[in-house]
């Protein structure tokens, strides 16, 4: 698939970040796009932007929690009806959240919520749209994993639910290569492994997990920050809240790779039929470090040593 003109694409998590940029860039290339998001206000903003930028393509928006199979199947039916089609060409399983960092201290509900969005969202959407992709003349599935799909750490910080899900996404995507070669040779698959990308995942995770945190919750967060070496020993609860907000903004605004750059890398790689897409110099570096020294990949000094610290 060397161009996207007049193709039909489905993008999950299209409200912000890489999802929004994928929708924008696909539409600019003349691709018809159906997007979903669980946060409607974000998706409406994307819809308004893309409608103005690319008025000649068919753009549809759908509220969907990809961790809920019934909602995903309804989403699929809406897409086919509103796009007036029985086939799609591209499926970008992009939706994701964080949370559930520790298997020991995080709540089971938070752990399973993150895993459900990041893994079952990929599985349910792939199940729902597979027939429409296979029946197309050209098809491609693009699954967003992460550097945490091959390195289950944040440099010493527990990251269990997200990492487990992203390992599953990577393994599933690689297994589809042989499956498609045998059973649907006109369909391709790519697994995307971004490093630090400027997205709103931290902010969106808070909205999706929902609920007001108690002072006890913030005390636990403070304890974890201290364990991570952050100098917050004398911070009040209000200061901890402000620190969390600043961390989320910093993650988005100070990333080495922007969402727009990430989307461009992904779409260019899909055109080249690449199955393995590392996004960002940091992703490439971590990939090389882990491959070169897997036995020591989880030593606390591993990340710092590789940066020359």
301 and 246: one domain?
no
Contacts of 134 (CB under 8 A, 6+ apart): 184, 187
**Residue 48 included in any domain:** yes
31 and 171: one domain?
yes
217 and 239: one domain?
yes
Q: Tally the residues of the chain.
A: 309
Q: What is the C-alpha separation between 205 and 304, in angstroms, rounded?
A: 28
Confidence (pLDDT) at 301: 67
130 and 239: one domain?
no
CATH code assigned at 276: 3.40.50.720
**Residue 298 included in any domain:** yes
Confidence (pLDDT) at 123: 98
84 and 137: one domain?
yes
74 and 57: one domain?
yes
Provide the number of structural domains found in the chain.
2
What residue numbers bound the domain in which 27 lies?
A: 8-199+258-306
269 and 236: one domain?
no
Confidence (pLDDT) at 57: 98
pLDDT (tens digit, 9 = 90+) per residue, 101-120?
A: 999 988 999 999 999 999 99
148 and 82: one domain?
yes
Confidence (pLDDT) at 194: 96
13 and 76: one domain?
yes
First-last CA distance in the chain:
43
Domain final residue, candidates 217, 233, 254:
254
15 and 126: one domain?
yes
**Residue 39 included in any domain:** yes
Q: Which residues of the chain register pLDDT less than 50?
A: 307-309
**Residue 3 included in any domain:** no
- Assigned token pair, 118: 């990041």
Could you tell me which of 39, 44, 101, 87 has the C-alpha nearest to residue 66? 39
- DSSP string covering 184-246: -TTEEEEEEEE-SEE--HHHHHHHHH-SPPPHHHHHHHHHHHHHTT-S-TT--HHHHHHHHHH
63 bridge partner residues: 37
242 and 262: one domain?
no
**Residue 94 included in any domain:** yes
Confidence (pLDDT) at 308: 46
**Pair 194, 258: CB distance under 8 Å:** no
- Assigned token pair, 217: 């919750």
167 and 236: one domain?
no
């989403």: which residue's tokens? Answer: 75
Confidence (pLDDT) at 309: 44
């Amino acid at each position: 698939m060397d161009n996207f003109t007049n193709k039909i694409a489905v993008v999950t998590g299209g409200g912000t970040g890489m999802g929004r940029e994928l929708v924008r860039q696909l539409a600019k290339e003349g691709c018809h796009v159906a997007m979903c998001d669980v946060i409607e206000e974000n998706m409406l903003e994307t819809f308004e932007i893309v409608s103005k930028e690319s008025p000649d393509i068919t753009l549809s928006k759908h509220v969907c929690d990809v961790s809920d199979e019934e909602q995903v199947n309804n989403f699929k039916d809406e897409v086919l009806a509103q796009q007036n089609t029985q086939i799609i060409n591209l499926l970008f399983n992009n939706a994701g959240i964080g949370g559930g960092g520790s298997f020991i201290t995080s709540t089971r509900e938070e752990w399973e919520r993150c895993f459900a969005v990041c893994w079952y969202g990929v599985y349910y959407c792939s199940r729902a749209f597979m027939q429409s992709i296979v029946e197309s003349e050209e098809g491609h599935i693009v699954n967003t994993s992460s550097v945490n799909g091959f390195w289950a750490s944040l440099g010493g910080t527990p990251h269990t639910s997200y990492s487990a899900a992203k390992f599953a996404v990577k393994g599933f995507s690689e297994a589809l290569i042989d499956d498609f070669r045998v059973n649907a040779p006109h369909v391709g698959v790519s697994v995307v492994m971004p490093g630090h990308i400027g997205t709103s995942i931290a902010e969106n995770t808070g909205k999706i997990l929902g609920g007001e945190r108690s002072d006890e919750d913030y005390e636990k967060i403070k304890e974890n920050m201290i364990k991570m070496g952050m100098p917050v020993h004398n911070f009040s609860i209000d200061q901890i809240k402000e620190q969390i907000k600043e961390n989320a903004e910093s993650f988005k605004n100070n990333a080495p790779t922007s969402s727009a750059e990430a989307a461009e890398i992904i779409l260019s790689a899909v055109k080249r039929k690449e199955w393995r897409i590392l996004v960002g110099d940091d992703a490439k570096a971590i990939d090389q470090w882990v491959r070169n020294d897997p036995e020591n990949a989880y030593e606390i000094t591993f990340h710092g040593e590789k940066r020359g610290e």
